[in-house]
Amino acid sequence: MQAIGLHFVDWFIILFYFAFIIGLGFYLKRFTKSEEDFFLAGRKNSSWVAGLAFLSANLGALELLGMTGNTFKYGMSVAHFYWIGAIPAMLFLGIFMMPFYYSARIKSVPGYLKLRFDEKTRILNGFSFAIMTLLVSGINLYAMALVLHTFLGWNWDVSMLASAVTVAFYVTLSGLMSAIFTEIIQFFLIWFGLFLVSILGIVDVGSFGDIMKRVPEAFSHLWRNTGDPSANGMLVSWGGIVLGLGFVLSFGYWTTDFLVVQRAFSAKNLRSARMTPIIASFFKMAVPFIVIVAGLAALALSNDPRSGFSLMTDGGKLNYDSALPMLIARYFPRGLVGLGITALLAGFMAGQAGNISAFNTVWTYDIYQSIINKKASPKHLLRMGRAATIVAVVLSVGTAYWAKSMPTIMDYMQAIFSWVNAPLFATMLLGMFVKWITPNGAFWGLIAGMGSSFTMYLAVKFQWISVSFLTLSRTASDMASNFWRAWWAWLITFVVTIVISLFTKKKPQAELVGLVKGLTAGAALEPVPLFKRPAFYAVLSLIIFVLLNVIFW
């Protein structure tokens, strides 16, 4: 592989960003005086700060390299991850679930499970989330190292080390506060540094219409060709998209994954917390205009032998994740190459910081304080949080090498979410809206869901069963398998939880006040105009969501 030739200006931009991020960590350390400052950024953020951080925590390696590469592989269908696979769940979180989360003053999602159910359910989720977070954080380290290695020519091990050390520095210094500030900076860097790639791709091919004409018919629609799985690039039916992605994986991630929900916890009041995911939803709908358009442009160019464009290959196989960096190399002149690479690195680092800050919170409160040292002082917990950050980064280096061995980071991510988030969403949904669900029902339902999901994954991987057994169709991709496995895991958790709850001891209703629908006082109407209320913006977001699906049907 040959590295992109970088000019002095490009190197200056990249090195300036690294120095700025580390310096920011040292500066914010002076404002990190308590455990709440470190783990929840002091609960002082406005809805806009929390909202941009909420989106940016998700806008890491998966969104940039992964989604652009998967658009090249699957086509327009990838936009489902941004629209039906995100917007309804984000709005549901803001309108219906955030009052339970925020009003309980919990510090993590497992903390809610303790209050609603019991300690064993909290610990089970704490351990599963911690493991999942380390696996996901490895993806961000791998993707960041991929850019440094492939496009700057750095050694793999050096690339991994540089990525890990930088993240460890600024998250250790001031925790979630550093992560949030980095995520906001990254948000603007991505739009300034990468939106131009899509524009230049459209100009290069001729127009967006010309791009759509040059890609296969199966790659050019959202819903029109989902009646038959073999007629779309992802080889998945509308049932798999709606049930697996739109319902289970989407709601499982956006409403229960502490990585993103933690940003809403940092808001200064309930209204700001509810507005956090709603504000983020508008920007989430716009992200496809970077990654989807870029991926389709790369596909159109690669189908034209005269363009001279092609993806990189590793061991004779196409590296789909190289689509976006190769477009940067094609279009950006000296100086702008540095900006584009910096935008990529910023996304990876912010995503990694989000994972690490979520891990150190769950480890400290839901595992360490819950099991190991129940009498730990606030100062001791702060030290433990910083120590956990270092350990998490070290472990993430190991999982990064594992992620490197996977076919695509997108398929890997969705498999992980189907193991943990899909079953957890069934538990949370029943816990928040059905008061007679019992602690034992929740615990054993969660065990059944996670166990069945991982078993189904292994069964398909080692060909113990055919993938068509899960997807209910003759043709299916790895992504279709992920969607349907998530649905079955959710359904198993849902049913097992209900059945066991019918025969086990219920918690007294007095202990569920503020935690369950029907036993929680409704939020008082804010004395503000209609256009300042969360529900108003949720409806507006939903209207735009419907229009986008109709336009690109």
Q: Rounded to an integer, what distance in angstroms lies between the CA atom of residue 158 and that of residue 163?
A: 9
- 9 pLDDT tier (thresholds 50, 70, 90): confident
> Dihedrals φ, ψ of 313, to 5°?
-120, 145
Q: What is the per-residue pLDDT for 430?
A: 93
Of 184, 188, 183, the residue nearest 358 (C-alpha): 183
Cβ contact 391:202 at 8 Å: no
| Average pLDDT value over all residues in the chain | 79
- 448 pLDDT tier (thresholds 50, 70, 90): very high
Adjacent-strand bridge partners of 45:
267
**pTM of structure:** 0.78
Q: What is the per-residue pLDDT for 524?
A: 47
Could you tell me what percent of the chain has a pLDDT over 70? 81
- Helix axis angle, 270-286 to 288-302, nearest 10°: 20
Q: In terms of pLDDT, which residue wins out, 257 or 178?
A: 257
Task: Report pLDDT digits (tens) over 195-227.
Answer: 888 888 888 888 888 888 888 877 888 888 877
Q: Rounded to an integer, what distance in angstroms lies between the CA atom of residue 335 and that of residue 11?
A: 8
User: Looking at the predicted structure, is the pLDDT value of residue 82 above 70?
Assistant: yes
Q: What is the per-residue pLDDT for 525?
A: 47
In this structure, the dihedral spanned by the alpha carbons of residues 277, 283, 285 and 289, taken in order and rounded to 10 degrees, is -160
- 10-14, 96-100, 105-109, 415-419: segment of lowest average pLDDT: 105-109
User: Looking at the predicted structure, is the pLDDT value of residue 489 above 80?
Assistant: yes
Report domain extents, the chain: 8-20+42-406
Task: Report pLDDT digits (tens) over 343-388.
Answer: 777 777 666 767 777 777 788 877 888 888 888 887 888 788 778 8
CATH number, domain 8-20+42-406, options 2.40.240.10, 3.90.1200.10, 3.30.70.2700, 1.20.1730.10? 1.20.1730.10
Q: What is the per-residue pLDDT for 408?
A: 61
Could you tell me what percent of the chain has a pLDDT over 90? 10
Q: Rounded to an integer, what distance in angstroms lies between the CA atom of residue 276 and that of residue 94?
A: 7
Q: Rounded to an integer, what distance in angstroms lies between the CA atom of residue 23 and that of residue 31?
A: 14
User: Looking at the predicted structure, is the pLDDT value of residue 454 above 80?
Assistant: yes
Dihedral sign for Cα atoms in the order 469, 79, 356, 402 = positive
User: Looking at the predicted structure, is the pLDDT value of residue 137 above 60?
Assistant: yes
- 48 pLDDT tier (thresholds 50, 70, 90): confident
Q: In terms of pLDDT, which residue wins out, 267 or 44?
A: 267
Of 259, 235, 183, the residue nearest 417 (C-alpha): 259
- 500 pLDDT tier (thresholds 50, 70, 90): very high
Would you tell me how many other CB atoms lie within 10 Å of the CB of residue 524? 7
